[in-house]
């Protein structure tokens, strides 16, 4: 059967209230969605009229994969996909805690200890917030309960990604000797991450392209500092982790096409984060004749 196009236009009198805005956002907030919406943040008092086109495709539900989402709509995972999404990053909490503890124990100087503290805390927070969000999705999404909590959990999940990216670069740009470019890149990265977090809390889901640019700046700008680094040991494994992230992004886009696509994306994040953590632990912490830590304590 040839899919037919249906255009739906709504004018919601509740749109200029917090409750009305949350009702509008609820179907658009995915687990890590990239759904485009022209709406605005809750409570901004802006009346809106939505118009979107739905591709009327018959649902092909199974236990392992739901129907592919129509344009402008979020993918709705099956119950077992919700479980897989939650468990796949729930495991990450324990993995990150394992490396967190190992890094603190391996720290040789106070600077290494504080860097390990920032890295371990932000990595653990990433998996913790993702797990909490997906656990909430598993319990309440289908029942459409507690939309306000869901809205803020989604923002917090996104905020944790910015912290994770900035924290991932910090050990390399602090414990390796870098030139001015490397030293400045660290602070530019954190400033961009803070800007991204401020954006999330102010304009969540409002300007998707701006959000994408911020993510790209935060994730790529520190890599420029590599050229100023005195020792490239371990950077090959960091690059391998980056490739794993990129492969995972392919699955991130395949909800409704590949069963458990989002959980597979989660496993790529888990594998890359574990590889990065292991590399930081084994190459940056402890006594290192090639990279003597500056005397700051
Ligand atoms: Zn997720």
80 CA distance to ligand 1 centroid (A)? 14
pTM of the model: 0.74
262 CA distance to ligand 1 centroid (A)? 6
Which stretches within 109-234 are classed as H helix? 110-140, 147-175, 180-203, 208-220
30 CA distance to ligand 1 centroid (A)? 9
130 CA distance to ligand 1 centroid (A)? 6
Cα–Cα distance for residue pair 179/162, rounded to 1 Å: 24
255 CA distance to ligand 1 centroid (A)? 11
39 CA distance to ligand 1 centroid (A)? 23
HSE value, Cβ hemisphere, 13 Å, CA-based, for 152: 4
185 CA distance to ligand 1 centroid (A)? 28
State the residue range of the domain holding 222: 1-297
CATH of residue 107: 1.20.1070
- How many domains, the chain? 1
Cα–Cα distance for residue pair 41/30, rounded to 1 Å: 16
Show pLDDT as tens, one digit a residue, over the chain (297 residues): 444 434 444 444 444 444 554 555 555 444 444 433 334 444 444 333 343 344 444 455 578 787 787 776 777 888 899 999 999 999 999 999 999 999 999 998 888 999 999 999 999 999 999 999 999 988 877 666 677 888 889 899 989 999 999 999 999 988 888 888 777 888 888 988 898 888 888 877 677 667 767 777 777 777 777 778 888 888 889 889 888 988 888 898 888 888 999 999 999 999 999 999 999 999 988 776 666 655 444
122 CA distance to ligand 1 centroid (A)? 16
HSE value, Cβ hemisphere, 13 Å, CA-based, for 289: 0
204 CA distance to ligand 1 centroid (A)? 17
231 CA distance to ligand 1 centroid (A)? 35
127 CA distance to ligand 1 centroid (A)? 9
């Amino acid at each position: 059967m040839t899919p037919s196009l249906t255009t739906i236009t709504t004018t919601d009198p509740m749109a200029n209230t917090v409750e009305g805005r949350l009702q509008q956002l609820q179907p658009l907030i995915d687990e890590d969605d990239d759904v485009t919406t022209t709406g605005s943040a809750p409570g901004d008092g802006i009346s809106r009229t939505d118009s979107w086109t739905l591709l009327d495709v018959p649902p092909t539900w199974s236990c392992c994969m739901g129907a592919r989402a129509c344009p402008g709509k979020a993918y709705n995972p099956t119950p077992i996909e919700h479980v897989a999404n939650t468990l796949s990053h729930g495991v990450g909490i324990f993995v990150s805690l394992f490396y967190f503890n190992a890094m603190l124990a391996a720290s040789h100087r106070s600077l290494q200890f504080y860097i390990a503290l920032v890295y371990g805390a932000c990595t653990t927070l990433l998996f913790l917030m993702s797990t909490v969000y997906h656990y909430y999705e598993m319990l309440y999404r289908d029942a459409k309960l507690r939309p306000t909590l869901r809205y803020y959990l989604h923002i917090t999940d996104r905020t944790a990604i910015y912290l994770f990216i900035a924290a991932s670069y910090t050990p390399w740009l602090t414990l390796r000797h870098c030139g001015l470019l490397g030293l400045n890149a660290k602070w530019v990265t954190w400033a961009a991450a803070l800007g991204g977090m401020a954006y999330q809390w102010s304009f969540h889901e409002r300007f998707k392209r701006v959000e994408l640019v911020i993510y790209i700046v935060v994730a790529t700008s520190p890599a420029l500092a590599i050229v100023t680094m005195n020792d490239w040991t371990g950077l090959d494994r960091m690059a391998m982790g980056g490739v794993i992230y990129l492969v995972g992004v392919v699955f991130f886009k395949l909800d409704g096409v590949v069963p458990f696509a989002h959980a597979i994306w989660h496993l790529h994040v888990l594998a890359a984060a574990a590889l990065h953590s292991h590399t930081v632990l084994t190459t940056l912490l402890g006594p290192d004749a090639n990279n003597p830590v500056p005397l700051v304590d």
